[in-house]
Amino acid sequence: MSAIYILWLRQLKRYLRSRARIVGSLGQPLLFLLALGYGFGPVYQQAGGGDYIQFLAPGVVAMGILFTAVFSGIEIIWDRQFGFLKETLVAPVSRLQIVMGRTLGGATVALIQGMIVLGVCCLAGFRVQDWTLLPMALLVMFLIALLFTALGTAIASLLDDMQGFQLIMNFLVMPLFFLSGALFPLDRVPEAMKTIIFIDPLSYGVDGLRSMLIQTSHFGLSLDLAVLSVSTLFVVAVASYLFSRIQI
């Protein structure tokens, strides 16, 4: 347990020391919130959809978590290139503890980033419908963070090139986000797209956040939590296996 705590704390200290990283991670969510929220807001309202900022904000929060969580995996490649990973792997602790510490640390960082994005959304006009449900919203946010941090760890365990990691993750992350229903309602999408949306785990994360923050849900909170939990356990198991196979 001490190894898990040390690695978790190391990830958190790295994040808190890098003010540029904190500010830089807000750029893309803010761009989507302001450009789309205020740009498409009048059109969305005229179409009978209501306040687009209310609809969009949970998706933007999920986006902030997604990008921070997935790209935390690049630290494995960074540590591999500069020798720190070798020192970690030869330590007298199991690799399962190492990957769990890294994953929990990356997920905590992504959760903090999501909370910051949520605060910015509130400043931009977003209104949480029921503040008593905020702890459940934080649980959904942490599940999203844990799932995609583990995904980033799994991919990084197979690669030793930062540029290759970034290309692969962009190839995966953008479809995951755009096909999650973060930017548009799921009620009237084509059937072919519905199939893709249903197998996208981020769809259930965005829906769970909307259920908690604005009390609107497409799948239902029970299904959202079930899919997120099962997906997280599966991806964490895969990440642990792939990380255990890293050669030093």
Burial 171-198 (b: 16+ CB within 10 A, else e): eebeebbebbbbbbebeeeeeeeeeebe
Which spans in 40-133 are helix H? 41-46, 52-70, 74-82, 84-89, 95-123
* Per-range mean pLDDT, top range of 6-20, 56-70, 94-108, 156-170: 56-70
The domains of the chain are located at 2-244
Each residue's pLDDT tens digit, 209-222: 999 999 988 899 99
**79-113 pLDDT, tens per residue?**
777 666 666 666 666 777 878 888 888 889 899 88
pLDDT tens figures, 21-45? 666 667 778 888 888 878 877 877 7
In this predicted structure, the answer to whether residue 50 has a pLDDT above a threshold of 70 is yes
User: What local confidence, expressed as pLDDT, does residue 71 receive?
Assistant: 82
Residues 6+ apart with CB under 8 A from 190: none
Query: Residue 70 in contact with residue 173, Cβ under 8 Å?
Result: yes
Whether the pTM exceeds 0.85: the reply is yes
pLDDT at 135: 92
Give 124-174 as a DSSP string: TT---S-GGGHHHHHHHHHHHHHHHHHHHHHHHHH---HHHHHHHHHHHHH
pLDDT at 176 over 60: yes
> Residues 194-219: what's their mean pLDDT?
92
